[in-house]
Amino acid sequence: MPALASRKGWLPREGFTADVLQSLILKTVLNPALTLPLFLLTRYVRNGEYTVTHALALERLKICLYLGLTRWVNRFLNRGALNNWTSDSWDWEKELVVITGGSDGIGKVLVQLFAHLNARILILDIQEPTFELPNSRVYYLPLDLSSPSAIATTASTIRSTYGAPTILILNAGIVNRRSLLSLPDVLLERIFAINTLSHYRLAREFLPAIAAANHGAIVTVASLAGFVTAPGLVDYASTKAAAVAFHEGVTAELKYRYAAPRVRTVCVCPNFTRTKLIANFQGQGDWMNPVLEVETVGEAIFERVVTGQSGFVVLPRTAEWSVMTVRSWPWWLQRLLLGLAKDIMRPAEEAEEVKDREAEKARLLAEKGTEGEVSSFETGPEGKEA
- Smallest CA-to-CA distance from 233 within 334, 344, 333 is with 344
Q: What is the DSSP string of 181-241?
A: GG--HHHHHHHHIIIIIHHHHHHHHHHHHHHHHT--EEEEE--GGGTSPPTT-HHHHHHHH
Query: Taking the CB of residue 312, how many other CB atoms lie within 10 A of it?
Result: 17
Q: Could you confirm whether 236 is annotated as catalytic?
A: yes
| Bridge partners, residue 125, by sequence | 142
Among 66, 162, 200, 236, the one annotated catalytic? 236
Torsion sign over Cα 235, 241, 247, 252: negative
Which residue, 204, 210, 183, 179, is CA-closest to 88?
210
Q: Give the number of other Cβ atoms within 10 Å of residue 173's Cβ.
A: 25
Phi, psi of 245 (to 5 degrees): -65, -40
Secondary structure (DSSP) of 88-122: ----TTT-EEEEETTTSHHHHHHHHHHHTTT-EEE
Structure letter (DSSP) for residue 281: -
CA distances from 42 to 29, 32, 55, 70, 184 (A): 16, 15, 10, 21, 69
Q: What count of other Cβ atoms lies within 10 Å of the Cβ of residue 255?
A: 16
CB atoms within 10 A of CB 122: 24
- Known catalytic residues? 236
